[in-house]
Structure 1
Amino acid sequence: MSSTASTDDGYYTFHDQDDAAHLHALGYKSEFKREMSPWANFSLGFTYLSPVVGVYTLFAYALATGGPPMIWSLVIVGVGQLLVALIFSEVVAQFPVAGGVYPWARRLWGRRYAWMTGWVYMVALLVTIASVVYGAGPYIAAAFGIDATVNNAIAFALALLALATVINLMGTKVLATAAIIGFTAEMIGALAVGGWLLIAHREHNLGVIFDNFGAGGDGNYMWAFGGAALIGIFQYYGFEACGDVAEEVPDPGGLIPKAMRRTIYIGGAAATFVCLALVLAVTDIPAVIAGKDTDPVSTLLNEAFGTTGARLVLFIVLISFLSCAMSLQAAASRLAYSYGRDGMIMGSSLLKKFSATRHVPPYALLLAAAVPAVIVIGSKFSTDAITKIISFAAFGIYLAFQMVVFAALRARLKGWVPSGKYTLGKWGVAVNVAALVYGVTAMINMAWPRTPDAPWYDNWIVALSAVIVVGIGLLYMMIHPLHDRSTAPYDDAIPKKLHSAS
């Protein structure tokens, strides 16, 4: 039975009683309010994916490394991540529980596996929040005409982090509204900037995206393309955030799978459009490849819009950075809350606390602000150390994703038949295998050493950082095995008669 309510944004139908009953059957009673409309849920995933932030941040590197054909990585990775999103859609439709990959792994496999999945994802999220707000520093400085000193960059990053935290602490409805504003700003920025560049400042025809301009030298171009493809690999995550807030969305089993797919479709299209417009508008591509123009985006914006216009564009970019940080923080806090609610980690009594007025977990949100703040402040003492820490961000998110994909494949082969409102039916195994193959390939590409002249530990920094994070997690599990005492439901996706408890 559904209850109905009218809201100002035109979203009318809520399924509160059905959703509460489903969640109760899964072993939980939610304290969240289901105030996030389908549009807001999609916007949350979109602003986490943040095509403007992703493309602007990595465009110079990708173009210099692989030349214009690097744009095809956005298409290739988009298809690969869509496969992952389809697997996530099946899982969240059956288990619409706050926290995303952690509760999904818990239901598909068990407590220990879920603990490690959540640990990897949590560290990656906290590091990604730090990298986003820290990366916004130069843009904030440029927008306000202030010198981008180390101290200024840190101050700007902390201010942006504080603002994102305040928005999150104000509750689901405010978060949803902010996500929609962020989505609108990103789309305006992508369409307006990309459209103007294509109309008034296009320097090349479409054939240029098949010309590498000598990028990669005389060796096999695929190595250069693999390096440049990081612009695509770093772009397509965020769709899982739609599921992280599953207890704040009405009819999550039906609506979240749609929001995840739309995040891939629309976010990917926006990122590809922006990237294409930038490529076609770069006047001297060989200069970028040769390292003579190390900031082609700023060069383009100033040429196309003038100083004042470029500054206005930068303000739109700043909204994108804020929205991205805010969405990441929302995802991290729901994961921390889910950990706390299940009694899985030290400090659970605080992490599971809920604000009776705002209906958000305040201590989980503060954790998602404090750790990134410490990382940002640490850059004052060692920028190199911060770079090493941040190197884990994207790889860690991919690793957590693939842990869920692998758990889903294992469960499927052991008899799990997805029973939510969204299923892949007979295509389930094929899509699951393809998603796993894609994800492992992408992780190998991310971890592949590409700096032969650097010390071995810098050359292998991505893989090394992953080993360190997993190692610390295993050590914690041995020293403080709270997860083994967690009584919340687990390992129930596979029919009991078909397997022994894990």
Structure 2
Amino acid sequence: MTAQHDPLDPDARRLSELGYSQDLKRGWSGFQNFAISFSIISVLAGPFTSFSQAWLNGGPLMISIGWPLVSALILIVGFCMAELASSYPTAGGIYYWASKLGGPAWGWFTGWFNLVGLIAVVASVDYAAAAFSNALLGMYGVQVPVDFGTSHAQATLNHTFGLFVVILALHAIINITSSHLVALLNQISAWWHIIGVAVIVFVLVLAPTRHQDFGFVFLHRLNMSGFGDGMYWYYVLPLGMLLPMYTIVGYDASAHISEETHNAATAAPKGVWRSIFYSALIGWILLLALTFAATDLKAVDAGGGTAIAVLSSALSLGLTKFVILISTIGQFFCGMACVTSASRMAFAFSRDGAVPGHRHWSKLNAKSAPTRAVVLVATLAVLITLPALKGNGTGTSVAFLAVTSISVIGMYVAYAIPIFLRWRIGDAYESGPWTLGRKYRWMNPVAFVWVGICAVVFCLPFTPAAVPFRRGFSWESVNYAPLVTGGTLFAVGAWWLISARRTFSGPIRTVTAAGTEAHSVGTAGGTADTVGAEEH
């Protein structure tokens, strides 16, 4: 059975024109659509969890000047995606766009890059939330008594991973329980992020006894990567771009929730670009406040250049705990939204027969929630994060940086493919109500060239110890992002050549051209058999 809808409803009618019946419950407002992308970007997550990446690779200059410059380029990517979201408001999002604009092969590879990237986003956000939770519990004197006889550093990694699994399980349960609850929590999350950042900035401005000057914040360079200073501008500084690129990602969620959003053809594109713009602006203010407060450089450097090191060196213990608590709750909201977005993508991709066991993963429960897709995403997120149980010599989980790189590469490559295809079509493209007009001619190339540069940068070693055949090489320090992304590309490419190109034809219609039902996505234990594919 499928969800009932008013045949005169323009959202359901547009979805029917795109080939799908209204199976998911459409109850999200435009603000809630914006809120999920804003929550996934999360200025209470990325700026705190990845602060050290920019501090060690570029320093204050990368944070104060690099952040707005990179954010402007990301906004161009977002504008290009917004135009596509307006034309094709479906849960498949960028996978559907690529299929429509380029054919089944383009859709196949786009979908897999998107799915791998989304799973990595879930893994990285929830693991970071676990790390912050573990640190916060330690500040309150709460210690997990089980250490399995390991060293303190290894015990910390074990405890963090355990918390990661618990947090991920909670997010899965919330997403399975109710789509309405998820929408409500995302709405609360948006306000938590806005008010939370305002409170943190207020504390960082008034509480520290002194602040850095403008010269330090906007001009000072740092290179603590281990690579030579001669590599600063062309190697070290680009590594620091992971801070804004990892923070401002996942805004395709507004597209994935299109089938659950009212007035989706205008609300979804607005959700995409507005979430980027406001996150970039608010995140920059927060990062400037953190950098101005970083006056005890010895303590910050000794703490690995982390946001927690800045806070603990500039604030009292009570205020440090207060700020970290606000950030941790924001990260929890962020992870919940990430699971929502990833599960909708997994559901849509399975609905079109692209995922092994697709009939199983495309089933909905009695509340029209993709329960099994949620479980699939959570399980794969745990598996991809298993290397985080092993740290380097200092007990640091290098795997976290690798997972963040995987998320950025997977997501942005998936973003770039339909943007390139839209540019290739040119003026023949049929725009929705939100359009770039003729600006696409320069914005599209800027977007996909920028993504190509970043994909290369984030496959590079983050430390000399990760450079193969170099003295001191250590597998524990290796950035395994190129191994995962390259392995994924090889696997799905081989799969495509061997069989999928003969069996996969892109998005499968669940309604006929006349608007009658072609097949039903499984609900409440039903099946999701496919009976026909759209012609390309």
* In structure 1, C-alpha distance between the alignment counterparts of 2:263 and 2:18, rounded to whole Å: 15
**Aligned partner of 2:27 among 35, 52, 55:** 35
- Determine if the alignment matches structure 1 residue 352 to structure 2 residue 362: yes
1:231 to 228, 243, 249: 243
Structure 2 contact 123–384 (Cα < 8 Å) conserved = yes
Q: Report the equivalent of 1:404.
A: 418
Q: Counterparts of 1:180 and 1:21 in 2: how far apart (Å)?
A: 27
Q: Aligned ranges for residues 12-27 of structure 1 at < 5 Å?
A: 17-27=9-19
Q: TM-score, normalised by structure 2?
A: 0.82
Query: 1:83-112 deviations in whole A, cap 9, x for unaligned?
Result: 111111111111111122111111111112
- State which drifts further: 384-393 or 44-53: 384-393
Deviation at 1:23, TM superposition (A): 0.9
Structure 2 partner of 1:446: 458
Superposed CA deviations along residues 146-205 of structure 1, whole A, max 9, x for unmatched, are 446233212211111111112211222111111122222222221111122123325123
Retained in 2: the 8 A contact 1:90–1:418?
Answer: no
1:421 is aligned, of 417, 429, 433, to: 433
Distance 2:184 2:494 in 1: 41
Distance 1:485 1:436, change over 3 A: closer
Q: How does 1:43-58 map to 2 (within 5 A)?
A: 43-58=35-50
Q: Letter of the 1:23 partner, please give it.
A: L
Q: Tell me what 1:484 maps to.
A: 504
Answer yes or no: is the 8 Å Cα contact 1:92–1:257 preserved in 2.
yes
Cα gap change, 1:486 to 1:281, in 2 (>3 Å): closer
1:94 to 87, 94, 98: 87
How many pairs align? 474
Larger CA deviation: 198-207 vs 50-59: 198-207
Q: CA deviation at 1:479?
A: 4.1
CA contact (8 A) 1:73 1:231 kept: no
Per-residue CA deviations over 1:383-406 (Å, capped at 9, x if unaligned) read 667765554222111111111222
CA distance 1:360–1:379, change in 2 (3 Å): same
Q: One-letter code of the match for 2:425?
A: A
TM-score by length of 1: 0.87
Unaligned regions of 5+ residues in structure 1, if any? 1-13, 491-500
1:196: which partner in 2? 203
Moved more, 367-376 or 479-488: 479-488
Whole-Å separation in 1 of the counterparts to 2:111 and 2:389: 29
Distance 1:487 1:320, change over 3 A: closer
By how many angstroms is 1:80 displaced? 0.9
Q: 1:110 aligns with which of 103, 116, 119?
A: 103
Structure 2 counterparts to residues 31-430 of structure 1, below 5 A: 31-71=23-63, 72-145=65-138, 146-147=142-143, 149-201=156-208, 202-213=210-221, 215=223, 218-219=229-230, 221-223=232-234, 224-285=236-297, 288=300, 291-356=301-366, 358-377=367-386, 379-380=388-389, 388=402, 391-412=405-426, 416-430=428-442
Q: Please state how far the C-alpha of 1:253 moved relative to its aligned partner.
A: 0.7
| Alpha-carbon distance in 1 for matches of 2:320, 2:479 | 38
The aligned counterpart of 1:493 is none
Give 1:314 shift. 2.3
The residue aligned with 2:394 is none
Q: Which amino acid aligns with 1:179?
A: N
Are the counterparts in 2 of residues 45 and 263 from structure 1 also a CA contact under 8 Å? yes
Shift of residue 20 of structure 1? 0.8
1:279 CA displacement: 0.4
Distance change in 2, residues 1:150/1:461 (3 Å): closer
Secondary structure class of the residue paired with 2:368: coil
Secondary structure of 1:405's counterpart equals helix
Contact persistence 1:16–1:34 (CA under 8 A): no
CA contact (8 A) 2:87 2:432 kept: yes
Q: 1:385 to 1:144 in 2, by over 3 A?
A: closer
Q: Which amino acid aligns with 1:373?
A: V
* Counterpart-to-counterpart distance in 1, 2:404 and 2:289: 28
Given that residues 157 and 390 in structure 2 are in contact (C-alpha distance below 8 angstroms), is that contact kept between their aligned partners in structure 1? no
CA distance, structure 2, for counterparts of residue 87 and residue 483 of structure 1: 31
Does the CA contact (< 8 Å) of 1:281 and 1:300 recur in 2?
A: yes
Instruction: Classify 1:374/1:444 alpha carbon distance in 2 versus 1 (closer, same or farther; 3 Å).
Output: closer
Q: Please give the alpha-carbon distance, in whole angstroms, between the structure 2 residues aligned to 1:483 and 1:257.
A: 32
SS of the residue aligned with 2:212?
coil
Q: What SS does structure 1 have at the residue aligned with 2:45?
A: helix
- The CA distance in 1 between the partners of 2:350 and 2:291, in whole Å, is 46
Q: Quickly say closer, same or farther: Cα 1:300–1:451, change in 2 above 3 A.
A: closer
Question: How many Å separate the matches in 1 of 2:137 and 2:262?
Answer: 41
* Aligned-partner Cα distance in 2 for 1:378–1:293: 23
Q: CA deviation at 1:462?
A: 3.5
Contact 1:165–1:369 under 8 Å retained in 2: yes
Deviation at 1:214, TM superposition (A): 5.3
* Residues 320-371 of structure 1, C-alpha deviations (whole Å, 9 max, x = no match): 2211211111111111111122222321111221123x22111111111111
Contact 2:120 2:381 in 1 (8 A): yes
Instruction: Describe the shift of the 1:386–1:281 C-alpha distance in structure 2 as closer, same or farther (beyond 3 A).
Output: closer
Paired residue type of 2:259 = E
Describe the shift of the 1:464–1:377 C-alpha distance in structure 2 as closer, same or farther (beyond 3 A): closer
Task: Structure 2: give runs of 5+ residues left out of the alignment.
Answer: 1-5, 144-154, 392-396, 469-474, 511-534
Instruction: Please give the alpha-carbon distance, in whole angstroms, between the structure 2 residues aligned to 1:330 and 1:21.
Output: 24
Larger CA deviation: 213-222 vs 318-327: 213-222
Shift of 1:476: 2.3
SS at match of 1:32: coil
Letter in 2 for 1:475: A
Identity of aligned residues (%): 27
Q: Output the amino acid matched with 1:182.
A: S
